[in-house]
Structure 1
Amino acid sequence: MVQRTDARTDVIRLAWPNVGAAEAEAVAEVLEGGQLTMGPKVDEFERGLAAACGTEHAVVVSSGTAALHLAVLALGIGP
C-alpha cells in the first residue's frame, strides 16, 4: 500500500508569471468572447508571430496533435 506524505512547502519556483492588468484583461476578453482557438485575436496573434519570425505566414493550433497533423499534411505524408 502506498502512503501519502505531506506536500512540500519549501518549493523554489523556477518561473513566476509576469501578468499585468492589461494582459489579464486581454485573456478575459478572449475567454468571455468564446473564441479561444479561432477568431480575430488568433488572426492578430498569427500576424504578429509571423512578423516577429520574419516570415510571411504563421499558423497557430490548439494542441500538439493538431500541430503534428498539419506538419504531416504540409509534408504530403499519407497512406
Structure 2
Amino acid sequence: MDAESPFNGHWPYYSESEIDAVTAVLRSGKVNYWTGQLCREFEQEFANFCNVRHAVALSNGTLALELAMRALDISSGDEVIVPCRTFIASASTVINCGAKPIFADVDSESQNITADTIKAV
C-alpha cells in the first residue's frame, strides 16, 4: 500500500497534506478565535462541503458526541442505542448526559449496528 493510503495499518492516519496544514496553523500562532480567522474559515469551508449553513470545529470526537447529545436534549430517563464494539465515548457521552446506553450487537461483516441488531434490543 502506498504511504498516502488510509489503510496502511496505522490509526489514526493523517496524510502528508493534513500534517502540512496543521503544521502551518501551529507555526502561524493563530490557533483560536482570538488570534485569527483560520478556524472560522475551516468551519465555513466544511459547511459548504457538507452543503449546510453551519459547521463547528471541536477539539475531539468525544466532545462532538456530547454536544450532539445535548443538542438533542438527551438526559435522565432517556435510552440511547450504541454499538457494543466501539470507542468508549459512544457510551460515556450518553452517561455524561444522564441517559442509559443500550448496547446493540454489530454486523459481522460491516462491524456496524444495523436495523436488525437494533431491533434485537
Q: What TM-score, normalized by structure 2, do the two folds share?
A: 0.42
CA distance in 2, matches of 1:61, 1:34: 16
Measured against aligned partners, the alpha-carbon deviations of 1:25-56 in whole angstroms (never above 9, x if no partner) come to x5334213051xx3221110000111111111
Q: CA RMSD in A?
A: 2.5
2:69 is aligned with what amino acid? V
Count matched residues.
62
Tell me whether 1:31 sits opposite 2:26 in the alignment. Answer: yes
Corresponding residue number in structure 1 for 2:10: none
Corresponding residue number in structure 2 for 1:69: 66
2:48 is aligned with what amino acid? A
Please say which structure displays the higher CA radius of gyration.
1
* Shift of residue 18, structure 1, vs aligned partner: 4.7
- Give the number of the structure whose residues are more often helix, by fraction: 1
Identity percentage of aligned residues = 37
**Which residues of structure 2 form unaligned runs of 5+?**
7-14, 77-121
